[in-house]
Structure 1
Amino acid sequence: MAGRVYLDWNATAPLRPEARAAMVAAMDVVGNPASSHAEGRAARALMERARAQVAAALGAEGADIVFTSGATEAAALALAGRGLQGAGIEHDAVAAWVDDTLAVDADGRVTVPEPGQATLQMANSETGVVQALPEGLAVSDLTQAFGKVPFAFNWLGCDMGLVSAHKLGGPKGVGALVVRPGVDVPAQLRGGGQEMGRRAGTENLIGIAGFGAAAEAAARDLADGVWDRVREIRNILVATLAASAQETIFVGNRAGDLPNTICMATPGWKGETQVMQMDLAGFAVSAGSACSSGKLRASRVLLATGYSPEVAGSAIRVSLGPAVRRDDVLRFAEAWLRQLGRHRSRAA
């Protein structure tokens, strides 16, 4: 009997072996990075190596990499109290801090009239749509794009970026705020002055070591064309499903979008129902962002893009990764189409 197939990589990616090895090694480093003795210096060296790995993978050499507990904390650090403009497609961690005033077109793309007063994600976790970031943008959520599509923070022209380790095969509970030199970021957590005075508290050395190793490995995969192969498998799955599911709407999937993401809506068939049916069949998919799934509501990303509540409530997200094979997605297609046939019979 075939095992389960994990198709929810946008929620979290499996831990990379490089990250696991780095974390295990870091467990034996006893010093506090803030201490001046030999043990403390060893811990500091390990942390700064990881900082350099993350910066290199992001193309952010020279920028400040401020380690946080994840992209959610990085968003709060960057956005709290600033009153920036945003759009209805932003992740909940960003949407909590912005004014929802930027319009979204039918393709899920956003025009930003005043970039210096706005935040805009690079890639949407639900639809896979990748935005063209305007020069001078205040903040960009780079979490889903990091490691999947080529970019360099230093070329984007934005002041700050948000990233998270577990989206690219690092550990959960660690991320970073990337800050262009000269940009002022008032601390939210005050105390010992760690992280260049921007985030007090003893750093999560084990998680940071894993983040650095994962970022380095992710950059190598991207350069080696791993995600081009993921895109090929994604396209096979889309073609297979679309051939037999004419009523299903496929959102995004353009050449410039995330290479691994399928957002598909079948009006009248609730997304939560599909997720449960696929889970029982051995496939992990989601009904939207992991931070908002489980809530019985239509995707606000699709609502903001102009889809009806019926369509938005019927959407599921299938997100692939390098470990997913062609046979895996064909098995998924067979199982999903079988359930679609049953749904049609019940609706007739």
Structure 2
Amino acid sequence: DVKKAITGKTVLVTIMHANNEIGTIEPIRDIAKITKEAGVYFHADSVQTVGHIPIEVNELGVDMLTMSGHKLYGPNGVGVLYLRKGIRIESLMDGGSQEKNRRAGTENVAGIVGIGKAAELAEKRLAQGEEDKIIKLRDKLIKEILNKVENVRLNGHPSNRLPGNVNFCFEFIEGESMLLNLDMEGIAASSGSACTSGSLEPSHVLLAIGLPPEIAHGSLRLSLGKDNTEEEVDYLIDILPKIIKKLRALSPFKGSWEGLK
């Protein structure tokens, strides 16, 4: 698809390293080969992946890569742009020589130090295999919910996904009602991305992968992190099927929607 999308006017290809809603990790190395052959720049939005999976820019073959502090337990409001040597970009702001003339203004020193320390700690966690623990919890959650609940779909790749990402669609109920009931049980979840949390429209990501709106409305995203425990996952596995059963009993929709399976 990327190869077909590139035309003679293409200057830059930018791809999310992993989707923030359904967790699927994209084949960045393969895409980099395509863009290199085509002679266009390649940027990877690695906000979701840095600190959670091993990343080496030379192995990925990207020209540019971005990351954000708050996604790896660092401070909000600070990020990093990696530029391969020799790549020139226009200044974001003029007026000062800060950040090699690319962005004028006093640097956010506290934020820079914070994201640096967060990256250092994330590297240690990866080396110690802490993400493997999260993957085990994620896979347990997926397996148990698929076994305990009927008419449910896992969105995204079953294994080639972010370590802490789980995204389901449940038939006959709305995501908002699930969130309210989970919240009353002390469980924080979402029905889409944080970027669109104020919207009542179905996820554009789920629509893009071919799900009809009525099924996309029943989405639930669950995110696991370094501090989650197996006991907490077991609690969720116990609570969620009960909530689904209760909401379906109240739902006017019955039968089966074609397209979920």
Q: What interval of TM-score do these two structures reach, taking the shorter chain for normalisation?
A: 0.7 to 0.9
User: What TM-score does the superposition give when structure 1 sets the normalisation length?
Assistant: 0.66
Are residues 111 and 335 of structure 1, via their aligned partners in 2, closer, same or farther at CA, if it must alter by over 3 Å? farther
| Deviation of the 1:112 alpha carbon | 6.3
1:77-226 correspondence to structure 2 within 5 Å? 113-114=5-6, 117-133=12-28, 134-135=31-32, 136=36, 138-226=42-130
> Residue 311 of structure 1 aligns with which residue?
215
- Cα distance in 2 for partners of 1:154, 1:276 equals 44
3-state SS of paired residue (1:119)? strand
Deviations 1:294-313 (A, max 9, x none): 21110001111111111211
| Deviation of the 1:111 alpha carbon | 6.2
Confirm or deny that 1:328 pairs with 2:232.
yes
Contact map agreement 1:112 1:118 (CA 8 A) in 2: no
- Cα distance in 2 for partners of 1:267, 1:193 equals 55
| Deviation of the 1:291 alpha carbon | 1.2
Confirm or deny that 1:227 pairs with 2:122.
no
User: What TM-score does the superposition give when structure 2 sets the normalisation length?
Assistant: 0.87
Contact map agreement 2:173 2:248 (CA 8 A) in 1: no
| Deviation of the 1:116 alpha carbon | 5.5
Confirm or deny that 1:267 pairs with 2:162.
no
Contact map agreement 1:285 1:317 (CA 8 A) in 2: yes
- Cα distance in 1 for partners of 2:5, 2:200 equals 34
3-state SS of paired residue (2:195)? coil
Q: Which has the higher contact order (CA 8 A, sep 6+)?
A: 1
- Cα distance in 1 for partners of 2:53, 2:156 equals 15
> Residue 29 of structure 1 aligns with which residue?
none
Deviations 1:156-192 (A, max 9, x none): 2222111100000001111111111111110121111
Confirm or deny that 1:283 pairs with 2:187.
yes
- Cα distance in 2 for partners of 1:258, 1:220 equals 18
3-state SS of paired residue (1:291)? helix
- Cα distance in 2 for partners of 1:157, 1:263 equals 29
> Residue 259 of structure 2 aligns with which residue?
none
Confirm or deny that 1:246 pairs with 2:141.
no
Q: Which amino acid aligns with 2:23?
A: G
| Deviation of the 1:252 alpha carbon | 2.2
- Cα distance in 1 for partners of 2:200, 2:5 equals 34
- Cα distance in 1 for partners of 2:240, 2:211 equals 23
- Cα distance in 2 for partners of 1:256, 1:250 equals 13
Deviations 1:285-329 (A, max 9, x none): 111111111211100011111111112111111010111111101
- Cα distance in 1 for partners of 2:135, 2:21 equals 16
Q: Which amino acid aligns with 1:236?
A: K
Contact map agreement 2:165 2:221 (CA 8 A) in 1: yes
Are residues 116 and 267 of structure 1, via their aligned partners in 2, closer, same or farther at CA, if it must alter by over 3 Å? farther
Contact map agreement 1:253 1:262 (CA 8 A) in 2: no
CA RMSD of the aligned region, Å? 1.6
- Cα distance in 2 for partners of 1:278, 1:111 equals 43
